Amino acid sequence: MTLHAPYDPDNIFAKILRGDMPHVSVFEDEVALAFMDVFPQAEGHTLIIPKKVEARNFLDMPTEKLGAYMERVQQVARAVEKALNPDGVVVTQFNGAPAGQTVFHLHFHILPRFEGTRLGAHAAGQMATPEQLEPIASRIRAAV
Ligand code: 5GP
């Protein structure tokens, strides 16, 4: 049962928040951290996670913390649009493994969509290097 289970403090995103795992950041404040997905499904695939909370998913997120976090989700989605000028943007998240969730710390995906370009596979394929991610990250960072 992955929809409701104890929060694992050793999940990958908790390690990123602690500084125990490298990441290519685009935004950070006291509420949220946004960084590039290492298995990008599209150019500019960005993740945004809440800080100072042990929420595995959207359903676990304390309601009083949701508003500030969602403001950051919109802020970063707007920055992705401004930086990359996509034809569309998907903002999505999954709750529980059967729904497609693979990392159990709440996160939203921000996925720029370009006409005629198909999405890559979810959480699969070849891991992007920081050197590959940084040029796009720097454009998003500058637009936040
Ligand atoms: P989920 O499947 O839980 O909705 O999304 C987890 C996302 O995290 C996937 O898109 C996957 O590619 C990404 N991911 C997995 N491991 C890492 C990692 O170590 N660093 C980063 N930046 N992203 C990761």
Which atom, in ligand 1's list, is nearest to the CA of 124?
12
What is the pLDDT, as a whole number, of residue 126? 87
Q: How far apart are CA 136 and CA 103, in angstroms?
A: 23
Q: Which amino acid residue places its CA nearest to atom 11 of ligand 1?
A: 123
Domain 12-143 has CATH 3.30.428.10: yes
Give the residue-averaged pLDDT of 11-39.
Answer: 98
Q: What angle do CA 129, 132, 138 make, to 5 degrees?
A: 120
Selection from 55, 9, 11 nearest residue 32 by Cα: 55
Gap from CA of 62 to ligand 1 centroid (Å): 22
- Whose tokens are 């903002």? That residue is 91
What is the pLDDT, as a whole number, of residue 125? 83
Give the residue-averaged pLDDT of 11-24.
Answer: 98
Specify the DSSP class assigned to residue 54: -
Which bin fits 65, alpha (ψ -120 to 50), beta or left (φ > 0)?
Answer: alpha
What is the pLDDT, as a whole number, of residue 1? 67
The predicted-structure confidence for 34-75, as pLDDT tens digits, reads as follows: 999 999 999 999 999 999 999 999 999 999 999 999 999 999
Gap from CA of 123 to ligand 1 centroid (Å): 6
What is the pLDDT, as a whole number, of residue 78? 98
What is the pLDDT, as a whole number, of residue 50? 98
Helical ranges in the chain per DSSP H:
12-18, 63-84, 130-143
Element (DSSP H or E) covering residue 111: strand 108-113
Q: How far apart are CA 115 and CA 110, in angstroms?
A: 16
Q: Is 23 noted as a catalytic residue in this protein? A: no
The predicted-structure confidence for 82-138, as pLDDT tens digits, reads as follows: 999 999 999 999 999 999 999 999 999 999 999 999 999 998 888 999 999 999 999
Would you state the structure tokens that stand for residue 52, as one six-digit string?
A: 């100072």
